[in-house]
A and B are shown apart, each in its own frame.
Chain A
């Protein structure tokens, strides 16, 4: 057993070293941009209610599924631009791209919207590629990816019309949305460069701001590189009644499935009226490391995956 473990770890040693270097580059990038590194609790009394994210419970509390609400409480208190690298925990998420405990990079920029955050992401990824050696082109799973900005942007409506043949803004079928996203839309993105999928139906806004229009769109954008869903950005919602309404809908949906225990995050909602206009993003660091290590599985970039932790 011990021999298996040291063999496995020796196989991924170079990836773990590169991972540490990536953390250094990320921290240097945000320091240069004037961001404060934040640290928020992993053991929390409640989590953002989301239908398809299940938390682990610990003595009636939860392991954090995302640092978002605490980071926004810091922003509401006036701390300015912040970033954080932390672990998140999501029950039953295990596969080639998932481990129930994983690492997230989040940052929030006061006064910015979601597309400015996407520009931050472009600069960060290019800074990493520059410092790690490959320049602007990386090789991932046998294909060259040109990381030069601006990355191609496509709206959810256009992407679904082109690849799945229906318009999610006309009549949204959320189940079909997820299936077609995975089986048709993402595979249609060019493997040669990153793609930003933007402007989601209002029903899928989560914690994002809505832009009025006909139909209204959620200012939400996701980044895909080499087939990996890497990051999810919002123009953050700063409207407490609207946020409370969405949370209540999610709690109701959870309870309909017999999932009780997640209560309204009142401390977060109380702080929301002081949240400045801002944009933010959550980026999966494990997948970022996979990209720069040419790793096919998350198991190649973390030393102790779930089953053998």
Chain B
């Protein structure tokens, strides 16, 4: 596509790496060629960079689609998701999920961006609700303080919670910060 058609929603491919265009600054001397100062986010590693283009330059547009998928099950180091519309299954390596994997519960619906059949990013709902399965998880690094203690969730994740949270309680977790938000239900 022509650089003039690029806008903030465009995704482009540079040397095989997909970038999301985060910002376009358009500068043009009245009679001269236009300059496009692009702010780009690498869709593989989320790093940002700047790149300048001029009138007439061409860029390679890439189609990145987003769809809702349901988490099915874990298979070794891979997590399997199913597209809710096409029922197509995608296997996502643990590395791509990072710490998000610890809050994945079977059946959870997430947003997955896919480029040419390859999963680029998995976005969890901002908040998930999970059952505490072990009231006091033992970890080597974290210490129990008066303000918080570590518990294990049904998904295997370890979370710092206030001391009053007990085994069997349901807690709300902020998946953007991996932190406890509140207790939504307590075991009867």
CA distance A257 to B27 in the complex (A): 21
Contact status of A50 and B31, CB under 8 A, knowing A92-B4, A98-B26: yes
B26 and A179: CB pair below 8 A?
no
Q: Is the CB of B31 within 8 A of A94?
A: no
A181 contacts B56, C-beta separation under 8 Å: no
Task: State which of B32-40, B70-78, B156-164 sits at the interface with chain A.
Answer: B32-40
Partner among A95, A179, A181 whose Cβ is within 8 Å of the Cβ of B54: A179
Contact between A52 and B31, CB atoms less than 8 A apart? yes
Closest-CB distance, A267 to chain B (whole angstroms): 23
Inter-chain contacts of B24 with A (CB < 8 A)? 95
Contact B31 A95 (CB under 8 A): no
Is A206 interfacial (CB-CB < 8 Å)?
yes
Least CB separation from B52: chain A residue:
A179
Tell me whether A232 is interfacial, beta carbon within 8 Å. yes
The residues of B that contact A30 with a CB separation of less than 8 Å are: none
Q: Which residues of B contact A175 (CB under 8 A)?
A: 33, 54
Dominant secondary structure at the A interface: mixed
Quick check: is B148 within 8 A (CB to CB) of the other chain? no
Question: Within 8 Å CB of B56, what residues of A?
Answer: 257
Is A204 interfacial (CB-CB < 8 Å)? yes
| A179 in contact with B35 given A95-B25, A257-B56 (CB within 8 Å) | yes
Chain A: how many interface residues by the 8 Å CB criterion?
A: 25
Answer yes or no: B55 CB below 8 A from chain A CBs. Answer: yes
CA distance A179 to B26 in the complex (A): 13
List residues 24-60 of chain B with CB under 8 A from any CB of chain A: 24-35, 54-56
Residues in B with CB closer than 8 Å to A95 are: 24-28
Q: What are the residues of chain A within 8 A of B34 when measuring CB–CB?
A: 52, 92-93
**Interface residues as binary, A160-177 with B (CB distance below 8 Å gives 1, 0 otherwise):** 000000000000001101
The total of chain B residues at the interface (CB under 8 A) is 17
CA distance A98 to B4 in the complex (A): 13
- A175 CA to B52 CA, complexed, in Å: 13
Closest B residue to A284 by beta carbon equals: B30
Q: Let me know if B27 and A182 touch, CB within 8 A.
A: yes
**Assembly CA distance A111 to B33 (angstroms):** 32
Task: Please indicate which of the listed interface residues A52, A175, A206 has the most CB atoms of chain B within 10 Å of its own CB.
Answer: A52
- Chain B, range 67-126, C-beta contacts under 8 Å to A: none
Alpha-carbon distance A2/B25, docked complex (angstroms): 28
Q: Assess the A229–B26 pair: CB atoms within 8 A.
A: no
Contact with A232, one of B26, B28, B31, B35 (Cβ below 8 angstroms): B31
Q: Are A178 and B26 in contact (CB under 8 A)?
A: no
Q: Is the CB of B32 within 8 A of A177?
A: yes
Nearest residue (CB) in B for A54 is B4
Report the Cα distance A257→B28, complex, angstroms. Answer: 19
**What are the interface flags for A178-217 relative to B under an 8 Å C-beta threshold, 1 for contact and 0 otherwise?**
1101100000000000000000000010100000000000
Task: Report the minimal beta-carbon distance from A295 to chain B, rounded to whole angstroms.
Answer: 17
Is B32 within 8 A of A181, CB to CB? yes
Q: Which residue of B lies closest to A232 (CB)?
A: B30
Q: Cα distance A174–B55 when bound, in Å? A: 12
**Is the CB–CB distance between A96 and B55 below 8 Å?**
no
Q: Given the known inter-chain contacts A92-B4, A175-B54, A179-B54, please indicate yes or no for A52 contacting B32, CB distance below 8 A.
A: yes
- Contact mask for chain A residues 103-131; partner B; CB cutoff 8 A; 1 contact, 0 none: 00000000000000000000000000000
Contacts of B54 in A (CB 8 A): 175, 178-179
Residues of A bordering B, CB below 8 Å: 50, 52-53, 92-98, 174-175, 177-179, 181-182, 204, 206, 222, 229, 232, 257, 282, 284
26 contacts between A and B (CB under 8 A): A50-B31, A52-B28, A52-B31, A52-B34, A52-B55, A53-B31, A92-B5, A92-B34, A93-B34, A95-B28, A96-B26, A97-B27, A174-B32, A174-B33, A175-B33, A178-B32, A178-B33, A181-B32, A182-B27, A182-B29, A204-B31, A206-B31, A229-B29, A232-B30, A257-B56, A284-B30
- Top 6 A-B pairs ranked by shortest CB distance? A95-B26, A178-B32, A92-B4, A178-B33, A52-B33, A182-B27
